[in-house]
Amino acid sequence: MKDLSLHLLDILENSAKAGATEVAIRLAWGKEWLDLEIADNGPGFPDSVKADPTDPFRTTRTERKVGLGLALLRAAAEQTGGSLELGTAKEGGVWLRARFQFNHLDAKPLGRLEDALNAAMLAWPKLNLSVRIGPDREEVLNTKEIKAQLGDVEIGNSQVQVFLYQLLRQELAPLYEWAAALSLNTGKPE
């Protein structure tokens, strides 16, 4: 996966497919570390997978015997000198924290994180997202709250989506600035 936003979308798809209705996404960074923490209220890892969820041959997929998402996420983190920790969320489902050392030559770019969140909101409307960004982990987006405020108006309404997209870009700006300053890769964002 070219950038971290694709990993984010992939992990959120895991939560959606597992039937979770709430997922908390936390992005925190400092010095050269970036933490991506995701916790959902799904059923958690089944016994068949629990022993090593990052093993590509242990998967809950039914159409084939290989699931690469967590394996690739672990590789992405470890190739920067970081790590992937997995466990049980306090909400009951899967908890994971991927830590990346961002000033590493093999650190993937962030990509457009707001696109991943936007796509998740629209592709999996039953999965509510709670997004916290920054060292204080302030909650900047909560789709449950948004839907409550919107009432009859659909979250997929184009005007609402443009607003949320701009809101996310604003909240992500400090992260993007930090990443641009630290990154050793001068590849242009796509």
Q: Which residues contact another protein by CB under 8 A?
A: 6, 9, 112, 115-116, 118-119, 122-123, 125, 139-142, 145-146, 149-154, 156-163, 165, 167
We find the least distance from the C-beta atom of residue 20 to another protein, in angstroms, to be: 17
Whether residue 109 contacts residue 186, with contact meaning beta carbons closer than 8 Å, is answered with no
Q: Which is nearer to another protein, 44 or 131 (CB)?
A: 131
Q: Which is nearer to another protein, 9 or 44 (CB)?
A: 9
We find the least distance from the C-beta atom of residue 150 to another protein, in angstroms, to be: 5
Whether residue 5 contacts residue 112, with contact meaning beta carbons closer than 8 Å, is answered with yes
We find the least distance from the C-beta atom of residue 159 to another protein, in angstroms, to be: 5
Q: CB under 8 Å to 33, separation ≥6 — which residues?
A: 82, 99, 100, 101, 102
Reduced to 3 states (helix: H, G, I; strand: E, B; else coil), residue 77 is helix
67 token code pair: 């699931």
Q: Which is nearer to another protein, 49 or 155 (CB)?
A: 155
